[in-house]
Amino acid sequence: MTPTGHQSLKDELARLKAERPKISQEIGVAREHGDLKENAEYHAAKEKQGLCEARIKEIEDKLSRAEVIDPTQLSGDRVKFGAIVELEDLDNGNQVTYRIVGPEESDVKQGFISVTSPVAKALISREVGDEVKVRAPAGLRSYEIVAVRWP
């Protein structure tokens, strides 16, 4: 993952850990309302606590296994992790720009695609001028690599 994605996960982890006391307080307040069997506030707070703890464990696991790669230290003419790739859709002439990032960082609306996505897999190790065919849910798409840049 990129340093930005790594920091984003660390920030989310800190936020979730800071939320723990608030959730515990919500559980305590709800417990005071009496019968726990029919106490919707209590059950909602316990569910919120469970989701929060599960996400904390998931993030801690990802951070412990993360390999952080700084794309600003990379260069070259071939597409690889961290590259910003400009493509021309050969079917309709539209141009799109994607940055290849880790799965946790992907956000197609912002132009960040996961290195494990079909488009990124087809682009890896290619260079400017190469034609790439990608099997997408809408069918086979053809792209030409217009540019490869580095942040």
**pLDDT per residue as tens digits for the range 105-143:** 899 899 999 999 999 999 999 999 999 999 877 789 899
pLDDT of res. 139: 85
pLDDT of res. 73: 78
**pLDDT per residue as tens digits for the range 35-87:** 777 788 889 999 999 999 999 999 999 999 888 988 777 778 899 999 999 99
pLDDT of res. 151: 85
Q: Which domains does the chain have, with CATH numbers?
A: 3-65 (1.10.287.180), 71-149 (3.10.50.30)
27 vs 13, 14, 76, CA distance in Å?
21, 21, 54
Please tell me what DSSP assigns to residue 75.
Answer: -
pLDDT of res. 72: 76
Task: Report which residue type is found at 26.
Answer: E
DSSP output for 2-47: -HHHHHHHHHHHHHHHHHHHHHHHHHHHHHTTS-STT-HHHHHHHH
pLDDT of res. 89: 92
User: What is the value of pTM for the model shown?
Assistant: 0.70
pLDDT of res. 57: 96
